[in-house]
A and B are shown apart, each in its own frame.
Chain A
Amino acid sequence: MGKFIVKRLLELIPTMFVIVTLSFFMIRLAPGGPFSSERKVSPEIMANLQHKYHMDEPLGMQYLRYLGDMLHGDLGPSFKNKDFTVNQLIGASMPNSLILGVTALAIAVLFGISFGLLSAVCQNTWVDYTTMSAASIGLSVPLFVVGPVAVLVFALRLRWLPTSGWINGRQGWKTIIMPAMTLALPYFSSIARLTRASVLETLRSDYIRTARAKGLKNSVVMVKHVLRGALLPVVSYLGPAFAGIVTGSVVIEQIFLVPGIGNFFVKSALNRDYTLILGTVVVYSAILVVMNLIVDVLYGILDPRISYE
């Protein structure tokens, strides 16, 4: 198992490499630069700025320089927010995004599996229909509709929850409820549907028939035999789910004014803040790759047929 993990971590490198390279050249080769939208500055000052940020060197050099810095853990200075380095900016906001993301994932998994299981066990009853309809709605409504509507209803009209802010502020943990639940909604729906389908299919397996033929109680059959196999597709789904949550958080952070990295992301792309964009992409990608690794390992633990020797 250890060897497998090391192998996967090593495979991380080419993927990250591709991502960084792709992003770097895409950003650099596009028209416009970090200084082009500011007020016109005199040519000498422009030349100085370019020199300071090494932008007068050939592109290849800049690339290598960037890689070198990155391997030292230095993601460079932010071009736009000139008082901070990228490391500082990401360091301050990334934890918030992670908290949001993990909370959302936890909500989606816990509720998704429970409701999916419940639906499968009570198949074709009102419990099943309501849950699956709710799940369908959850999948269909876009995040950026649910978010504002939730704010409209729960914060502005009903005044149950705050409109924005974060957990270290005055309102404390209440502020995380709406953003996390909104973010979790489509993934809760997917997981519920997936669990239900998987449990139903597992129930039709031959080995469940064997278990029943041995005279086991229904609850034992469900928990011991069905769940093990049925949860495997859900575990597989965790990888893409987390990736989706990362993406969705970009919008959620905007709507609920969460001080996370998502907020920076779009703005920095529009502002051509090269280092910040790159830094963000690198960090996000690393997190996603590690998450996928964790998911694969988990899957291997649950399914003895997969051998990692």
Chain B
Amino acid sequence: MITAIGKKKNKEQGKNEFNQEMKSVSLAADAWRRLKKNRMAYIGFWVTVIYLAVGLFAPVLPLHPYAQQNTDHAYLKPSLRSAGIVELETRKAYFAKVMAKEGRTAYNQDEQAQIDSILKRNKTDPQQQRHYILGTDSLGRDMLSRTIYGGRISMMIGLVGTVTALLIGIIVGAIAGYAGGAADTILMRFVDIMYGLPYMLIVIIMMAILGRNVAILFVAIALVSWLTIARVVRGQVMSLKNTEFILAARSMGADPWHIVVHHLIPNTLGIIIAYAALSLPEFIMSESFLSFLGLGVSAPLASWGSLISDGVQGMQLYPWCLLVPGIIMTVFLFAMNFLGDGVRDAFDPQSKNRV
């Protein structure tokens, strides 16, 4: 079902011939209503909003500096108690194991010295009063803030990448679809060839060779991601091109630019939005994938992928280093996927009513 969407949508209440109230609904309001009904998508929407908000406001949140290392605090368990106490207990637990192996019950001189030094620092060093709610990593950096800042990077890469891919894809797709003929053939041959390339491999090569630059990361991923959106937009434009309301607009003398902007784009908007919602998590996955392999962002910047990669190292003894970023990232992707599905269903008037 395609509606000829004009300039502004008026929400007039009128009465029909049977004296019943008529409600006119704009496309956006209709889509929102359908989205709200989709329980999981609605939850996904709010989860995504929360994540985005936290990422956006990270600098003003009361977090420990994400890059600050403190070797004394390495590999502390997640805890609600202050760092000093946790450090003490960890050390004592370690000593207990050693003592059990060696069959003694008292601390030796060296161990006692270490315990005393910790106690002393607990009284004097303000850093010992910190609370590492989600634990620390191998260099004593706070997992909570690293994960939040890592999320910032990951989400940002996802957003910018998606927007870039969308822009390129829409322009190319719209031109190919509307102009048809030679332009279409050339552009689509290009897309076909690029589609045939094992893109991830090429991206890996690019990242490995050209260095670990965030900009190159964008370029590499965006370079191949615009292909699908271009195809989708082209398909939609081509099928819209010959519909009757476009013909009507043309017969009224509208110029191609006007048609593209005021008719084609609004009718493609639904698909574009749905696609954007679904490609954002894909972007983040790609970036994380590369970071995991060591080809993404470099220290001190962290992204979810690199955090997980670090976490795998100490996985057996310090599982939180893997699980914290892993779970947080998974929840985000989960939410976004549901949201994306919901958006796609909400904008697709052809999906039959399920009662």
Interface positions of A (Cβ within 8 A of B):
14-15, 18-19, 22-23, 26-27, 30, 32, 124, 136-137, 139-145, 148-149, 151-152, 156, 204, 243, 246-247, 250-251, 254-255, 265-266, 269-270, 272, 277, 280-281, 284-285, 288-289, 292
Q: Which of A27, A142, A280 touches B285 (beta carbons < 8 Å)?
A: A142
Whole-angstrom CA separation of A288 from B200 in the bound complex: 12
User: Residue B236 at the A interface, CB < 8 A?
Assistant: no
User: Residue B75 at the A interface, CB < 8 A?
Assistant: no
Residues of B within 8 A of A139 (CB): 337
- Within 161-200 of B, Cβ neighbours of A (below 8 Å) are at 193, 196-198, 200
With most chain B CB atoms within 10 A of its CB, the pick from A18, A139, A246, A280 is A139
Residues of A within 8 A of B341 (CB): 136
- The 3 nearest A-B residue pairs measured at CB: A269-B208, A30-B209, A247-B200
Whole-angstrom CA separation of A292 from B330 in the bound complex: 31
In this complex, how many residues of chain B approach chain A with their Cβ under 8 Å: the count is: 42
**Chain B 326-354 against A: per-residue CB contact (8 Å), 1 yes, 0 no?**
10011001101110010000000000101
Whole-angstrom CA separation of A143 from B8 in the bound complex: 46
Q: Which of B205, B293, B330 touches A145 (beta carbons < 8 Å)?
A: B330
Whole-angstrom CA separation of A26 from B285 in the bound complex: 25
Whole-angstrom CA separation of A255 from B285 in the bound complex: 17
Q: Which of B289, B319, B337 touches A140 (beta carbons < 8 Å)?
A: B337
Given A23-B205, A140-B334, A243-B198, also A156-B316 (CB < 8 A): yes
Asked whether B198 lies within 8 Å of A281 as measured between CB atoms, the reply is yes
Given A14-B193, A247-B201, also A144-B288 (CB < 8 A): yes
Residues of B within 8 A of A277 (CB): 205
Asked whether B289 lies within 8 Å of A292 as measured between CB atoms, the reply is no
Main secondary structure of the interface of A (DSSP, over half): helix
Given A144-B305, A145-B329, A148-B315, also A266-B294 (CB < 8 A): yes
Asked whether A145 lies within 8 Å of B209 as measured between CB atoms, the reply is no
Asked whether B329 lies within 8 Å of A142 as measured between CB atoms, the reply is yes
User: Residue B202 at the A interface, CB < 8 A?
Assistant: yes
With most chain A CB atoms within 10 A of its CB, the pick from B311, B336, B337 is B337
Asked whether A144 lies within 8 Å of B309 as measured between CB atoms, the reply is yes
What are 19 A-B pairs with beta-carbon distances under 8 A? A18-B193, A22-B202, A26-B205, A124-B354, A136-B341, A140-B337, A142-B288, A142-B292, A142-B329, A144-B289, A144-B308, A148-B308, A247-B289, A255-B312, A266-B204, A270-B208, A280-B201, A281-B201, A285-B201
Whole-angstrom CA separation of A141 from B322 in the bound complex: 13
Whole-angstrom CA separation of A27 from B341 in the bound complex: 39
**Chain B 278-317 against A: per-residue CB contact (8 Å), 1 yes, 0 no?**
0001000100110011110000000001001101100110
Asked whether B205 lies within 8 Å of A27 as measured between CB atoms, the reply is yes
Q: Which of B294, B311, B337 touches A136 (beta carbons < 8 Å)?
A: B337
User: Residue B156 at the A interface, CB < 8 A?
Assistant: no
User: Residue B252 at the A interface, CB < 8 A?
Assistant: no
Whole-angstrom CA separation of A206 from B329 in the bound complex: 43
User: Residue B22 at the A interface, CB < 8 A?
Assistant: no
Asked whether B316 lies within 8 Å of A265 as measured between CB atoms, the reply is no
Asked whether A145 lies within 8 Å of B319 as measured between CB atoms, the reply is no
Given A124-B354, A151-B315, also A284-B201 (CB < 8 A): yes
Asked whether A292 lies within 8 Å of B196 as measured between CB atoms, the reply is yes
Report the minimal beta-carbon distance from B27 to chain A, rounded to whole angstroms.
23
Whole-angstrom CA separation of A22 from B281 in the bound complex: 28
With most chain B CB atoms within 10 A of its CB, the pick from A19, A272, A280 is A19
Asked whether A152 lies within 8 Å of B334 as measured between CB atoms, the reply is no
Asked whether A27 lies within 8 Å of B209 as measured between CB atoms, the reply is yes
Whole-angstrom CA separation of A288 from B206 in the bound complex: 20
Q: Which of B197, B204, B326, B336 touches A285 (beta carbons < 8 Å)?
A: B197
Given A15-B193, A144-B305, also A149-B326 (CB < 8 A): yes
User: Residue B248 at the A interface, CB < 8 A?
Assistant: no
Report the minimal beta-carbon distance from B198 to chain A, rounded to whole angstroms.
5
Asked whether A266 lies within 8 Å of B197 as measured between CB atoms, the reply is no
Q: Which residue of the partner chain A has the closest CB to B209?
A: A30
Whole-angstrom CA separation of A214 from B288 in the bound complex: 54
Whole-angstrom CA separation of A22 from B292 in the bound complex: 25
User: Residue B210 at the A interface, CB < 8 A?
Assistant: yes
Q: Which of A14, A18, A19, A148 touches B322 (beta carbons < 8 Å)?
A: A148
Asked whether B208 lies within 8 Å of A152 as measured between CB atoms, the reply is no
Asked whether A140 lies within 8 Å of B354 as measured between CB atoms, the reply is no
Whole-angstrom CA separation of A289 from B198 in the bound complex: 9
Q: Which residue of the partner chain B has the closest CB to A139?
A: B337
Report the minimal beta-carbon distance from A43 to chain B, rounded to whole angstroms.
25
Residues of A within 8 A of B205 (CB): 23, 26-27, 269, 277, 281
Residues of B within 8 A of A136 (CB): 334, 337-338, 341
Whole-angstrom CA separation of A19 from B197 in the bound complex: 7
